[in-house]
Structure 1
């Protein structure tokens, strides 16, 4: 995992309100283990916890801090399914693949809730999320979306057409919404910190401030770090957008993308009831979507946009605040207390990349904006494949993943051009 310029948590609302967590010492010296996991975000910690529950001796190496990357910076929404939905999977990859992935589309949500309950993790879990249509074409898409998800087993959906959406959102921007009562939202950094503590309670070891510099493949795998080495029977590469330089063969098939979030000062209860009456998480249906929700202490957390290649804007609040005010002009005089960004990893087909290298190195990455739930599913599937149950893991591993057009040099401008086209369609309601 590449070394970060700053290996402490960014100055986000999440870091400011994180539960206490120990600083884990960097690896010094040589050790051996059954499984070494590289990356202490949701994918890595989910994998490590599932494996520890099965009795494996697991060591996690993290270049910075637990939850340093997208797992500790995201919008905190529990959104079901994948970034590409089941109709696209059916059309492109056939009924068998769609059925296999469809059977798992809502499982990550259940795993998260099982973790919170089973290990008593305090992470501000709240119920419900919804998708808001900005035009009538998007509303028609939500009708289809509801029927599709119901066909795959989600019976907790409610379509709000016309003015009915104002039951849930105090904004004039929309023409309808789809409520997923099985969804939710939470404090993601506290979730991953709680899962890390659960893993350690089972005898697992985490080394922070320990970037992996080199991976030597063989019957066992050796991972070299600045002050030590790990020799492992098997390895899980789980660094996602923060894994550049370690697995170059995967880099052409994925691209780091930045997203930005702001958080307001705490808002009065009456205003909160006006904006989001039932305290659900919201995302719109645009290609470059906005998403927002209330935190446990009554702040509006608002995010949106994508920076291809992962570069940060010079003034995050200046980018996101106008989006917030377009949705909620009532907040024109509201103070912004926190602004931060983070990278997620996008694939060309918007589906996650699972696979193996040299039979004993596994990877899971590229959730393309749906990482909170899908990363928890990934951890379970990695634990399954290591105990010899490979069918579900292989349903993802068999998906074709093509390189981004233009290679590393042109993938950013070409992706930005494509995003401009789709954003224009959203604005015009095509």
Structure 2
């Protein structure tokens, strides 16, 4: 992956089309705060905004730049629910847990839209999403998803058959799908940068280029110490929100998760007529395969297309060669079109595919492991962490009750074991099982 040394962002469409309005200083001194948040992506920003709104003095530390990680590189889709849906949660963890999580399954998108309205965030928001089915079996799965989600309050769903497909996405690849009007899409890096602006506008403090190298936890009423290479933050409570870019800063968390890479390409700007022909609805789209593809039109009429997974993180040798056959199979009319940008980034996978929220000691909170559903779920997690820190732990306790499994075989074996499982599901996708 190439990097732009001037901005320290990956050389992506998002970096090229985002205009940073403000640079934040690096931490150069010893300071004190009510709460120190580690990580300048959506989890950290959503938590920081929610806590600052509650009247706390919050400091946020980012090792690189705001939105440097997955929050500034993802597909930009506000996909509802969790990576494991509510029916799976009910089978594994019982009706009470499923009911509690079902009540939260569609909240993340509402939080984002609430931030957009409250703080006037310029993020290229577009409503609507579509789940695309290759087979009748997948259509049956979508019918079941519709019934499930309607049980938990999402009444903005509609099944679409092959005859109506051209109004949504103009391709022969699918037999139908499910429209979700509660969904939507945004420019990810703009969202992170605008949330940072909102946070500082209400009194929050951000330090960039301030990588945390050590944490000295304290219990009870004592202050914890967060140490960077040139400064320190003494805080009553900590929030660890680095996700796939946390590294081994907190080994207890690293053992229970695995970074995975996903890749995105963006075409040259398409003529307006062609863009409207490809995706007349301008919805964001993802297919129903286990190793799914996802795509949408950008505000300036490029096709942005992502997909695939590299277990353990990192990118294939050529992202364009990896993804071009996939999007050309959906849109043959784009065969040979120029690709202006290709980039990758890591998200964090858990063995259960469910988010991990919890505490370390008395005063350190964490949220991680959204397993591909990070845009919405990170914002939900931020609100829940803020509630818990403020003394309301009911929803936080629902997540802490979920088991946080380590990967079998430890860190050395988690990649091959997961690849084996992904291979199996990839075969199922191809055979239509």
TM-score normalized with structure 1 length? 0.98
| Paired residues, number | 427
* Ranges in structure 2 where 5+ consecutive residues have no aligned partner: none
Q: Which runs of 5+ in 1 are unaligned?
A: none
Q: Which residue of 2 aligns with 1:144?
A: 144
Task: Confirm or deny: 8 A CA contact 1:13 1:338 kept in the other structure.
Answer: yes
Pick aligned residue for 2:305 from 302, 305, 316: 302
Distance 1:5 1:257 in 2: 23
8 Å Cα contact 1:136-1:429 kept in structure 2: no
Displacement after TM superposition at 1:230 (Å): 0.9
- Residue by residue over 1:6-25, the C-alpha shift from the partner in whole angstroms, topping out at 9 and shown as x without a partner, is 78110111100113232211
Give the 3-state SS of the residue equivalent to 1:399 in structure 2: coil
Task: Name the structure 2 match of 1:95.
Answer: 95
Displacement after TM superposition at 1:163 (Å): 3.0
Match of 2:360 among 346, 357, 362: 357
What is residue 135 of structure 2 aligned with on the other side?
A: 135
SS in 1 for 2:10: coil
Q: Which of 259, 263, 267 is the matching residue for 1:264?
A: 267
Residue 327 (structure 2) aligns with: 324
Aligned to 1:425: 428
Cα deviation, 1:184-208, whole Å, max 9, x if unaligned, reads 0110110111110011011111110
CA distance in 1, matches of 2:346, 2:284: 21
The alpha-carbon deviation at position 405 of structure 1 amounts to 1.6
Secondary structure at 1:348's aligned position in 2? coil
- Structure 1 residues 23 and 73: CA distance shift in structure 2, 3 A: same
Q: When the two structures are superposed, what TM-score results if normalisation uses the length of structure 2?
A: 0.97
Which residue of structure 2 aligns with residue 237 of structure 1?
240
Cα distance in 1, alignment partners of residues 190 and 295 from structure 2: 18
Question: In the alignment, what sits opposite 1:373?
Answer: 376
- Measure the CA separation in 1 of the matches of 2:128 and 2:363: 39
1:20-62: CA deviation from partner (whole Å, max 9, x where unpaired)? 2322111011111000000000000110011111110010000
Deviation at 1:118, TM superposition (A): 0.7
Which consecutive aligned stretches of 4+ in structure 1 deviate over 2 angstroms post-superposition?
Answer: 4-7, 161-167
Aligned to 2:284: 281
Looking at structure 2, the residues matched to 422 and 372 of structure 1 have their Cα atoms a distance apart, in angstroms, of 24
Q: Aligned partners of 2:214, 2:325: CA distance in 1, in Å? A: 44
Q: Is 1:416 aligned to 2:419, yes or no?
A: yes
- The answer to whether structure 1 residue 391 and structure 2 residue 397 are counterparts is no
Query: How many angstroms does 1:360 deviate by?
Result: 0.3
Q: Any residues of structure 2 matched to 1:244-263 within 5 Å, and which? A: 244-263=247-266
Specify whether residues 292 and 5 from structure 1 end up closer, same or farther in structure 2 by C-alpha distance, changes over 3 A only. Answer: closer
Give me the whole-angstrom Cα distance separating, in 2, the residues matched to 1:311 and 1:115: 32
Q: State which of 312, 317, 324 in structure 2 corresponds to 1:314.
A: 317
Contact map agreement 2:350 2:370 (CA 8 A) in 1: yes
Q: What is residue 160 of structure 2 aligned with on the other side?
A: 160
Cα distance, 1:52–1:216 mapped onto 2, change above 3 Å: same
Task: Tell me what 2:37 maps to.
Answer: 37
Deviation at 1:5, TM superposition (A): 12
For 1:251 and 1:333, locate their aligned partners in 2 and report how far apart those are by CA, in whole Å. 41
> 1:205: which partner in 2?
205
Which residue matches 2:46?
A: 46
Give the drift of 1:166: 2.8
Backbone CA RMSD of aligned residues: 1.2
CA contact (8 A) 1:160 1:177 kept: yes
After superposition, where does 1:337-356 map in structure 2 within 5 Å?
A: 337-356=340-359
For residues 249 and 325 of structure 1, the distance between their equivalents in structure 2, rounded to whole angstroms, comes to 43
Q: Output the CA distance in 1 between the equivalents of 2:362 and 2:173.
A: 51
Alignment-derived partner of residue 68 in structure 1: 68
1:401-423 Cα distance to aligned partner (Å, 9 max, x none): 21112211111111111101101
Query: How far is the alpha carbon of 1:236 from its aligned partner?
Result: 0.2
Given that 1:171 and 1:328 are in contact with CA atoms closer than 8 Å, whether structure 2 keeps it comes out as yes
